[in-house]
Amino acid sequence: MRWRSVLLGGVVLGGCCWVATTFASVCGPADETQDVELYDGGRGLSKEQVFRWQAATGQLRWNSSFIPPLTAEDDPGNLLGVRWCTGTLFSEKLFLTAGNCFDASAGGWSTPARRVGNSFVPLPPQELAPLTHVNFNLQRDTTTCATPTDPRTCAVRKPDSYPVVRLLEYRRGNLNYAILELGAGADGQLPGQRYNPANLDSSSAALAQAKLLAIIQHSGGGPKRVGIGTQLRISNDRISYGDIDTFGGSGGAGILDQSGRLVGLHTNGGCDVTGGENWGITVRAISEVSDIIR
């Protein structure tokens, strides 16, 4: 797929660097997303709705070491520890995100490669996925804010991490999606035992009724935020919106309707200061090629 606009730079968060994986696409002159726990309820959804739905959103991050399965002779690339994409838990252990999160080296990134003779062969998506993990609960804690209206004064919650066991589906039907199987966390529980999965709905009826949309995302690779806006159109496998801001790290975020149903995932940016639109693919389209999502 093709991303447009300007690549975000790296910052420091919690003592570890991240660099965004996708391109910023703010619809208008200013970013209107809000931290999920500081959402003010003024965008058509209640605070209670956003807080309830946000738990299923996680951040995909590369592990701090790729050995094993790589060896010291292999090339780790430049992704160690990088905060990467967003995704949504939709069962006890299944996680939906964008397919481009596991594409081979592109856009200045070097994915891990295995040494074969005098050459390095990039790992395929099925081998890249288990080199990542998913963090849940990475968000600002509203109970710690020195100034309740200023997110910068709020501490960031310690995330819960779950390993990626395997890549179950990847870009079937040329659609930009991936489904991951997650393993148990440090406490021995699967993520769905701690965080309520999203209500995934692949029906045409749900898609037709999706007028108000929410994208809960790790925009810029940072703590979880929510953007809320209206659906512009649905065309074939695409759902478009022109007033929901996205950033690097937002790719793969779930698109929820006004009832909290997961009806799509964000994949593309096309907004700028004068307008335009961002878009994603529908869960209905995925259901037509997937063995998992029906």
Q: Report the distance separating Cα 89 and Cα 179, nearest Å.
A: 10
Instruction: Read off the pLDDT of residues 157-183 as tens digits, 9 standing for 90 and up.
Output: 999 999 999 999 999 999 999 999 999
| Mean pLDDT in residue range 280-289 | 98
Instruction: Read off the pLDDT of residues 69-104 as tens digits, 9 standing for 90 and up.
Output: 999 999 999 999 999 999 999 999 999 999 999 998
Q: Are 257 and 212 in contact (CB under 8 A)?
A: yes
Ordered alpha helix ranges (H), the chain: 47-54, 125-128, 204-209, 283-287
What CATH fold (topology level) applies to the domain 56-193?
Answer: Thrombin, subunit H (2.40.10)
